[in-house]
Structure 1
Amino acid sequence: MIKYKPEIDFPEVYKVCQLFTPNDDDLVKVRDLMEREIKMGLSRDNHDRSTVPCHLSFVKELPTGRERGRFLAIEMMPTNCRIMLVKFSSERDIYTSSRCVIIPHTIKAGKGTEIFTYLAGILVNFVKEKKVDKDNLPLGISFGFTLNKLALDIGFLVSWTKEFGAHGVIGKDVVKLLRDALAKYPEVSIDVMGIINVAAGSLLALCWAQPDTRIGLIMGSIANSCYVERLDKCEMYQGEEDPKGVMIINSDWAHFGDGGQLDFLRNEFDKQMDVESINPGIRLYEKFSGALSVGELVRIVLYHLMQKGAIFEGERRDYVAIQWKLDMVSVMELASDPPGSWTRAQQVMDKFRIHQCKDRDMAALRYICTKISDRAAMLVSSGVSALINRMAQQKISIAVDGGIYRLFPSYAASLNKYTAQLTNPKYKFEFVVTQDSSGVGAAIMAGMAHATKYKTDTKLIVMDY
């Protein structure tokens, strides 16, 4: 087995990859800029100027693991929806019964209210089948689209993603739309308690099992985080003051860098991907760290080097030239073979009509994948360390949702390494892959909100309707 030295064996590849290698000072600078933007986002005077807007979730309680009961949830995501009945029982057991919902394209592209009418109908049938239609169970919504939240149960839709084209809903309260749709079924009792984003749902789901959870991290096609902030630091909050109170904050940090903060790190390939994207000039932190962006950056770099004859010389380039053709799953496969083996990598290259690849080219491609994914992990670690240092907790768990952390060979190691390097050593942390979906967190939120509304014990919720 040949052990390749990039600087010697494929120097042109090595030279390009150095553009994706931030130094320690760069990472510290990103961390400190993130902290500055977070402070601005939380402040009343500077909120509108921050690229990390720190939206209020209005979730002001955290589960302890002693919560019990049955709750409903709806996960409404860009690619799929799910209705769930979640039961929290003793010994930290969670029982989940769910139904996946495929929303027809005609409804996705039609009048926006039709989506909620459609979901309400399926939800009603679901609770009837489960024989809880008369129980007035609390329901929480985990929502994968941008909201402007004014309260736990008031969230105005800001925008859909490209998968949805439904009109007439932008600027409308999503919770009210669902309640109005359910009102058409007076024979069914469901108490819609509130709405949260995916990161908050992941945080709450893990927090029930690990009460020291304080960060929720989304590392998939989108990049986002949420964390637990002291209520007295949330200047945008206008409710009752509580010096010991906390609130989950949706950082919305995908936009970090939209004001030029990260320009010192952007190279020609970053700029090309941004210009050719559907949203040029915005969501720049996500374009550094999101799974979709990692795949596209690898493709752009590969195509550039193939044009120069530095890799896969003489091979066809037409498939590599297709935008977004190389997804994150393929990048993981390219870097997942054991040393000296290229079985999975060759299967990926076969899709690009490049067959019987030379070992040197495969080693160079693996190097590209590793360097670009490692940079993504480094920049995420800068953001995570800013949150950990800010909260100043002795020990926290971080809920991680995203295949890139679970499946990519070096990503998890890099994220842990650089987060430790950038975090005050007196604060300990642990990244934990969430086993439960964000819908479980939405169910917990609904239960806690119900207990607060009806003055039951918020730490021991028992539903005996």
Structure 2
Amino acid sequence: MSETSEIARLREFLTELIPNEDQFQRLYRNFCEQIRKGLGANTNKEASTKCYLTYVQDFPTGNETGKFLALDLGGSNFRVLLISLRSNHDAEQTSKIYQLTEKELLGKGSELFDYIAKCLHEFVCENKLEAENLPLGFTFSFPCVQIGLSKATLVRWTKGFNCADTVGEDVGTMLKVAIARRQGLKIDMVAILNDTTGTLMSCAYKNPECNIGLIVGTGCNACYTERVENCERLDAKYKNKPKIIINVEWGAFGEKGGVDHLHTEYDKIIDKNSLNPGAQIYEKMVAGMYLGELVRLIMLRAVNENLVFAQCKLRKHITDILTKKPNCIETKVLSEIANDKGDDWPLVKEYLKKIFNLNDPDIDDCMKFKYVCDVVAKRAGNMLGVTLSALANKVGEKFTIIGVDGTVYRCHPNFDGYMRETLDQFIEKGIRYDIMLSEDGSGRGAALVAAVVQRENA
């Protein structure tokens, strides 16, 4: 980007969205303190990162065999999967996606689970599995307190869900009851887990050195393997095994401070306008549900301050769209224009036409729009790298694989590099890491947990 006076003004305008080393150091210290509190029996209530016990303590060897079902619920659609495991890390997968309407997203919890059971039944019949009694792993990607491997109490809905009569209830039991109401459906739900745990397990199936799972998609969360002696809230009967997966629920980081020094006015507006104001503060700064909206808010202010589209004849039209159409800039735009380069900026032009009906935007305006998108994505990736390094240092292994899934990570060509930039800066000497893209972690991982449960109970 050529450093014209206009670009220099834009850079200065965006300074608060470009954290410096001291701000990242503070983020690292604050996050480590929240992890410490989350693990403690007497301090857990004070922690924003609750560090939930998953009760997943056994890991795949790669030699598991058999057929297993997986249910993956974490967004406005859900998937049912049939995973056929063969020895030597080999697996065959069949899956189907089912859409959720506003009725299921915002209605009664019992209606949501009845609909899921109905779709499970359809899937079983379509795949001619009626005669088989199959174990099911249930990926449920919302904050829960795990009270056993197949029991989890919902703490809060996120990502657009708000089903009545569900918060505080055991979602594992709700699913089992809904399955039992379907005559002829023989499914044994043996494990409930978060999508981060599924991602970790999926990658551990391929590489046993995977100790961290990360999701960067619509929402954002991480899990990691912790030594049982560090888990003060873990009952003694579970301490005969060396490790347990901890579901950090780091989307809630910042609810009790910790990111205030990075929280801009744009972030505060995002939070205020969300379905859950005051909650999931960290997630709203780094996850796909919010990055496009952050760009919209920044662009609105930039246009009003004559930093972008200052000479454009459709300037008022652009301002009206940015003002009156929340979410008019989708997060996928950030990913799809990331590799666009001057001098012509064809992808940026395509999106400016789609969003604002601009047929021939000024080249400088194209460059500025892309720069705003890049700044928002880079801040998210850099922040995640800082908190990932804290988990890698906590794991303490000489080499750790970080298993990653989610549309933001998968689709943004620079996101991996943004994370590594701060990971390299904050990871302790003597610890090496690599990042591994999960093969359908949240689905396959659930089936793998079910397979491991069957193996251990055999």
Please tell me whether residue 170 in structure 1 is matched to residue 167 in structure 2.
Answer: yes
Please tell me whether residue 417 in structure 1 is matched to residue 409 in structure 2.
Answer: no
CA separation of 1:262 and 1:159: change in aligned 2, threshold 3 A: closer
CA separation of 1:359 and 1:434: change in aligned 2, threshold 3 A: same
2:416 alignment partner AA: A
Alignment of 1:320-399 (within 5 A): 320-321=322-323, 322-350=325-353, 351-399=355-403
Pairing partner for 1:208 from 194, 200, 205: 205
- Residues 31-86 of structure 1: CA deviation (Å, up to 9, x unaligned): 12111110100000000001111011111112122222211111122211221110
- Residues 211-241 of structure 1: CA deviation (Å, up to 9, x unaligned): 2111111111211101111111111111415
Mean alpha-carbon deviation: is it higher for 429-438 or for 38-47?
429-438
Alignment-derived partner of residue 319 in structure 1: 321
CA separation of 1:236 and 1:295: change in aligned 2, threshold 3 A: same
Alignment-derived partner of residue 299 in structure 2: 302
Alignment-derived partner of residue 194 in structure 2: 197
Whether the 8 Å CA contact 2:271–2:277 is kept in 1: the answer is: yes
- Give unpaired runs (5+ residues) of structure 1: 457-465
Q: In 1, Cα distance between the equivalents of 2:291 and 2:450?
A: 36
Alignment of 1:52-131 (within 5 A): 52-131=49-128
Alignment-derived partner of residue 233 in structure 1: 230
Mean alpha-carbon deviation: is it higher for 194-203 or for 285-294?
285-294
Whether the 8 Å CA contact 1:219–1:402 is kept in 2: the answer is: yes
Q: TM-score, normalised by structure 2?
A: 0.92
Q: In 2, Cα distance between the equivalents of 1:122 and 1:333?
A: 33
Whether the 8 Å CA contact 1:59–1:247 is kept in 2: the answer is: yes
CA separation of 1:427 and 1:117: change in aligned 2, threshold 3 A: same
Matched position secondary structure for 1:204: helix
CA separation of 1:263 and 1:59: change in aligned 2, threshold 3 A: same
Q: In 2, Cα distance between the equivalents of 1:122 and 1:361?
A: 48
1:319 alignment partner AA: I
CA separation of 1:374 and 1:59: change in aligned 2, threshold 3 A: same
Pairing partner for 1:42 from 39, 43, 48: 39
Matched position secondary structure for 1:319: helix
Mean alpha-carbon deviation: is it higher for 212-221 or for 272-281?
272-281
Q: In 2, Cα distance between the equivalents of 1:35 and 1:67?
A: 36
2:10 alignment partner AA: V
Q: In 1, Cα distance between the equivalents of 2:51 and 2:66?
A: 31
CA separation of 1:205 and 1:183: change in aligned 2, threshold 3 A: same
Q: In 2, Cα distance between the equivalents of 1:27 and 1:164?
A: 32
- Residues 179-228 of structure 1: CA deviation (Å, up to 9, x unaligned): 22333456443221010011111111111112211111111121110111
Deviation at 1:407, TM superposition (A): 2.5
Please tell me whether residue 134 in structure 1 is matched to residue 137 in structure 2.
Answer: no
Alignment of 1:240-279 (within 5 A): 240=237, 242=239, 244-279=241-276
Matched position secondary structure for 1:172: coil
Pairing partner for 2:410 from 397, 406, 425: 406
Please tell me whether residue 432 in structure 1 is matched to residue 436 in structure 2.
Answer: yes
Deviation at 1:90, TM superposition (A): 3.0
RMSD over aligned Cα atoms: 2.1
Alignment-derived partner of residue 5 in structure 1: 3
CA separation of 1:24 and 1:166: change in aligned 2, threshold 3 A: closer
Whether the 8 Å CA contact 2:200–2:441 is kept in 1: the answer is: no
Alignment-derived partner of residue 461 in structure 1: none
- Residues 153-204 of structure 1: CA deviation (Å, up to 9, x unaligned): 1112333346445433333222222222333456443221010011111111
Please tell me whether residue 449 in structure 1 is matched to residue 449 in structure 2.
Answer: no
Deviation at 1:244, TM superposition (A): 5.0
Matched position secondary structure for 1:126: helix
Q: In 1, Cα distance between the equivalents of 2:265 and 2:116?
A: 45
Q: In 2, Cα distance between the equivalents of 1:269 and 1:184?
A: 47
Mean alpha-carbon deviation: is it higher for 303-312 or for 39-48?
303-312
Whether the 8 Å CA contact 2:121–2:185 is kept in 1: the answer is: yes
Q: In 2, Cα distance between the equivalents of 1:105 and 1:300?
A: 26
